[in-house]
């Protein structure tokens, strides 16, 4: 009966995690998956989260279903983080937000919505992008194309090519954008470049879909949301998927949100209803525990402030690792330019290693990164950075 079922090749990034776990090398280093580990190589539980969890009353309290769109405080938390506390569009009721199962759930609900209500639209993703972007949209029968983004030869962005490409697209085509900390390249647009992109989107009536999974890891909470808030200021309709996996270090709790900015409150109400309908038929309602943690941390001023400080501490540790990695590599290979390492933002560095060099790092040194050369800088710490930098220098020199 099931003989005709294809084998699943597995997810390249999750598969790498499994390979890493099975490796007996005592010096192995995991720079594959996008998870923040602290200075001791441990996945942190944020202090603000510990406080919130202590406040979640009785652990044996009844656990009813949440509403389809999740807790109101979770939704409000997403909105204020993305659009700014007191934003006029929030007062005017122009944003339809549903809590979702992580950022992935937000992308899925958004993709289903696009498929149903904009069936002619194609979705364009950056070349390269996080692999699951393509899988999620194609899985919802939305045709996916790629727009030029990263110039490997110069470790820069193909900005002019990207803009020229956007100008060829059809009305209501969807452009998936990373407002900060681009995954996998770490290369972000400047504010002036965002302005140009958004002007082209407006002129050609394209639909921006901004996926923000690393807010706070780039510059700061507000600057990282520049593109989102600028699009709002320009009166553009807008989809935003956000994830709390990284910035609340709540990976397994699966918390995120999907927000759709609409021209009128009536449209926002219609869209909100349809988002509920999408959620109902995919997974019915979001998880409760993570939703309560988000609600508490986002809506308590003191905890929120503590949270922001904890995110910035993670951001700063990653930046320090970038500096250190760059300086060791520069010392070892003086004729090569490693500036790109500190120009990139967020958790990832696109190192430019060839697949063969990545493979050598894995087999000879037990250092795991994605074959496209993406390294999770948040997996580095003062104990492993020298050995990683030395190993990288070794494979680069040969
Ligand atoms: N978007 C991007 C760009 C991501 O990097 C990730 C996580 N790797 C997600 C969305 C999904 O987030 P979550 O793990 O919360 O589903």
Indicate if ligand 1 lies below 6 Å from the C-beta of 104: yes
Alpha carbons 318 and 388: distance in angstroms, whole number: 15
Mean pLDDT of the chain: 96
**How many Å lie between the centroid of ligand 1 and the Cα of residue 100?**
12
Whether residue 64 is predicted with pLDDT greater than 90 in this model: the reply is yes
pLDDT band at 398 (very low <50, low <70, confident <90, very high): confident
Residue-wise pLDDT for 190-242, tens only, equals: 999 999 999 999 999 999 999 999 999 999 999 999 999 999 999 999 999 99
Whether residue 9 is predicted with pLDDT greater than 90 in this model: the reply is no
Among residues of the chain, what percentage have pLDDT more than 90?
91
Indicate if ligand 1 lies below 6 Å from the C-beta of 247: no
**How many Å lie between the centroid of ligand 1 and the Cα of residue 294?**
17
Q: What is the Cβ-side half-sphere exposure of residue 145, based on CA atoms within 13 angstroms?
A: 15
Alpha carbons 205 and 171: distance in angstroms, whole number: 5
Asked if residues 92 and 265 have their Cβ atoms less than 8 Å apart, the reply is yes
- 224: tokens are 């990282």
Using CA atoms, how far residue 133 sits from 118, 126, 210, 251, 300, in Å, is 18, 10, 12, 18, 33
pTM: 0.96
**What integer pLDDT is reported at residue 206 of this predicted model?**
98
**How many Å lie between the centroid of ligand 1 and the Cα of residue 2?**
32
Indicate if ligand 1 lies below 6 Å from the C-beta of 183: yes
| Closest CA relative to residue 128, chosen from 257, 20, 13, 8 | 13
Q: Is 211 a catalytic residue?
A: yes
DSSP at 64: P
Q: Is 230 a catalytic residue?
A: no
Distance of CA 229 to the CA centre of its chain: 17
| Closest CA relative to residue 342, chosen from 358, 328, 356 | 328
Per-residue buried b or exposed e for 358-384, using 16+ beta carbons within 10 Å of the residue's own CB: bebbbeebbbbbbbbbbbbbbbbbeeb
Contacts of 33 (CB under 8 A, 6+ apart): 13, 14, 16, 17, 376
Q: Is 76 a catalytic residue?
A: no
Contacts of 53 (CB under 8 A, 6+ apart): 293
**What integer pLDDT is reported at residue 13 of this predicted model?**
86
Please compute the mean of the pLDDT values over residues 128-144 and round it to a whole number. Answer: 97
Indicate if ligand 1 lies below 6 Å from the C-beta of 346: no
Q: Whose CA is nearest to atom 8 of ligand 1?
A: 34
State the catalytic residue, choosing from 158, 188, 194, 211: 211
**How many Å lie between the centroid of ligand 1 and the Cα of residue 261?**
21
pLDDT band at 37 (very low <50, low <70, confident <90, very high): very high
Asked if residues 289 and 123 have their Cβ atoms less than 8 Å apart, the reply is no
Q: With residue 145 as reference, give the H or E element that holds it.
A: strand 144-148
Please compute the mean of the pLDDT values over residues 279-307 and round it to a whole number. Answer: 97
Residue-wise pLDDT for 38-61, tens only, equals: 999 999 999 999 999 999 876 678
Which contacts qualify for 123-129: CB closer than 8 Å, 24 or more apart? Answer: 123/173, 123/174, 123/175, 123/176, 123/209, 124/169, 124/173, 124/174, 124/175, 124/176, 125/176, 126/150, 126/176, 126/177, 126/178, 126/182, 128/184, 128/185, 128/372, 129/176, 129/178, 129/183, 129/184
Contacts of 136 (CB under 8 A, 6+ apart): 104, 107, 108, 111
Indicate if ligand 1 lies below 6 Å from the C-beta of 256: yes
């Amino acid at each position: 009966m099931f003989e005709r079922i294809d084998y699943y090749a597995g997810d390249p990034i999750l598969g790498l995690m499994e390979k890493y776990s099975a490796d007996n090398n005592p010096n192995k280093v995991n720079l594959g998956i996008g998870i923040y580990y602290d200075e001791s190589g441990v996945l942190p539980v944020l202090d603000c989260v510990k406080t919130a969890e202590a406040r979640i009353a009785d652990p044996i309290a009844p656990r009813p279903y949440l509403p389809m769109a999740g807790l109101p405080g979770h939704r409000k938390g997403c909105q204020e983080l993305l659009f700014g506390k007191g934003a006029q569009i929030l007062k005017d009721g122009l944003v339809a937000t549903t809590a979702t199962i992580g950022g992935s759930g937000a992308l899925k609900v958004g993709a289903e919505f696009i498929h149903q209500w904009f069936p002619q639209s194609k979705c364009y993703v950056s070349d390269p992008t996080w692999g699951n972007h393509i899988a999620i949209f194609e899985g919802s029968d939305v045709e996916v194309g790629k727009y030029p983004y990263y110039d490997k030869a110069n470790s820069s962005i193909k900005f002019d090519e990207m803009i020229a490409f956007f100008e060829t697209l059809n009305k209501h085509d969807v452009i998936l954008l990373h407002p900060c900390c681009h995954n996998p390249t770490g290369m972000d647009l400047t504010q002036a470049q965002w302005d140009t992109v958004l002007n082209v989107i407006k002129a050609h009536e394209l639909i921006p879909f901004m996926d923000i999974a690393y807010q706070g890891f780039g510059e700061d909470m507000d600057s990282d949301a520049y593109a989102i808030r600028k699009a709002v200021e320009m009166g553009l309709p807008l989809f935003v998927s956000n994830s709390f996996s990284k910035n609340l270090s709540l990976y397994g709790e699966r918390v995120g949100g999907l927000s759709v900015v609409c021209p009128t409150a009536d449209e926002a109400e219609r869209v909100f209803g349809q988002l509920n309908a999408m959620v109902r038929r995919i997974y019915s309602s979001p998880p409760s525990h993570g939703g309560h943690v988000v609600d508490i941390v986002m809506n308590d001023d003191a905890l929120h402030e503590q949270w922001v400080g904890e995110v910035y501490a993670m951001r700063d540790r990653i930046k320090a690792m970038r500096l250190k990695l760059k300086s060791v590599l520069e010392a070892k290979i003086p004729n090569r330019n490693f500036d790109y390492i500190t120009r990139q933002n967020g958790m990832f560095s696109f190192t430019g290693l060839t697949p063969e060099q990545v493979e050598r790092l894995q087999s000879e040194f037990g250092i795991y990164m994605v074959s496209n050369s993406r390294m999770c800088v948040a997996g580095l710490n003062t104990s492993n950075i020298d050995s990683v930098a030395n190993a990288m220098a070794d494979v680069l020199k040969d």
